[in-house]
Amino acid sequence: MSEPATASRRPQPPEVDRRAASVAAVAARRARAAVKAAIAAREISPLVVLDRATTDPEGVEGRLRVTEFLLSVPAIGTTKMKEALERLQISPAKRLGGLGRHQRLRLREYLIERENRTARQRNRLVVLAGPTAVGKGTVSTYIRENYPEVLLSVSATTRAPRPGEVDGVNYYFVDDAEFDRMIAGGELLEHATVHNAYRYGTPRAPIEEALAAGRSVLLEIDLQGARQVRRAMPEARLIFLLPPTWEELVRRLIGRGTEDTAEQARRLETAKVELAAQDEFDYRVVNHDVAEAAREVVDLMKVRAASPRP
């Protein structure tokens, strides 16, 4: 078969050049994907990416399309992205490095305003952690029942329900496959294997929605989870619930009677390690009395919402 006339007339780069060009194109695409993933994971601020695009319009950041850039910013979906571009008078075909000066300034303003708003919202996210059996569950249940303005996040877990526990109220009880699916779908704000046994994770969507609606949100999670939240949302406040004494903690742990001896020993070991981490927290509350501890936690949520971090 004869080749089309245009193809035979146009000089073709040698095979080796074409291969080099396609290798370079793949590398550039990967580099752009890495930048987008870093924005999505909040490892890099979109403002920094925009600055880099301005400094080097032909670099990785400069070659990012403004559409894919905005879509990688957490909580910006297609609708918000389109609205923003219309409002900012930027064509969806533009790349970051190709924006005009005024477009760039408008986009910058938009991103700064968004970051400030998000930071204010995240001020209202409070993590309650502490050693096992210190009474985190009791204190947070008390808050759910007595302070309806606070949303108590419902975690997903792979452990079986205990008597009296209700799916969707105490936990979402899921199997391993479903838990894997939630992780793969980016549905969990944090997740961890607790006491070397079952997996627990915090669903992201209800939290984002409640914060956006101006509500305070309480997470009752373990130490590993608290650390992950601190990394993902540095504005969140971390409260550590302490037992009045170590002896009291042991008494509460054994007294609960819901775990066998081996499990109790495992949990005591975890509790020792967890107690040692209290200095990482913003506030400490001693659980002498459930109602009192709950009130202190809720008071700290209010303080936090009103004033910046010390």
By the criterion CB under 6 A, which residues form the site for ligand 5GP?
132, 136, 155, 159, 190, 192, 194, 200-202, 220-222, 224-225
- Structural contact between residues 94 and 102, judged by C-beta atoms closer than 8 angstroms: no
Residue by residue, what is the 3-state secondary structure of 264-281?
HHHHHHHHHHHHCCHHHC
Nearer to ligand 5GP, 220 or 296 (CB): 220
Reading the block at residue 288, the tokens are: 């002498």
The distance of closest approach from Cβ of residue 226 to ligand 5GP in the complex, given in angstroms and rounded to an integer, is: 8
181 Cβ contact partners less than 8 Å away, ≥ 6 residues apart:
none
CA proximity to 143, closest of 293, 307, 308: 293
Nearer to ligand 5GP, 111 or 271 (CB): 271
Kind plus residue range of the DSSP H or E element containing 288: none
Nearer to ligand 5GP, 68 or 259 (CB): 259
Nearer to ligand 5GP, 15 or 175 (CB): 175
Give burial (CB, 10 Å; 0-12/13-18/19+) of 223.
buried
The distance of closest approach from Cβ of residue 254 to ligand 5GP in the complex, given in angstroms and rounded to an integer, is: 15
- Structural contact between residues 301 and 150, judged by C-beta atoms closer than 8 angstroms: yes
Nearer to ligand 5GP, 85 or 133 (CB): 133
Residue sitting closest to ligand 5GP (CB): 225
The distance of closest approach from Cβ of residue 258 to ligand 5GP in the complex, given in angstroms and rounded to an integer, is: 8
268 Cβ contact partners less than 8 Å away, ≥ 6 residues apart:
132, 250, 253
Residue 285, strand partner residues: 241
The distance of closest approach from Cβ of residue 248 to ligand 5GP in the complex, given in angstroms and rounded to an integer, is: 17
- Structural contact between residues 277 and 139, judged by C-beta atoms closer than 8 angstroms: no
The distance of closest approach from Cβ of residue 68 to ligand 5GP in the complex, given in angstroms and rounded to an integer, is: 31
Nearer to ligand 5GP, 46 or 135 (CB): 135
Alpha-carbon gap, residue 31 to 74, rounded angstroms: 19
The distance of closest approach from Cβ of residue 185 to ligand 5GP in the complex, given in angstroms and rounded to an integer, is: 16
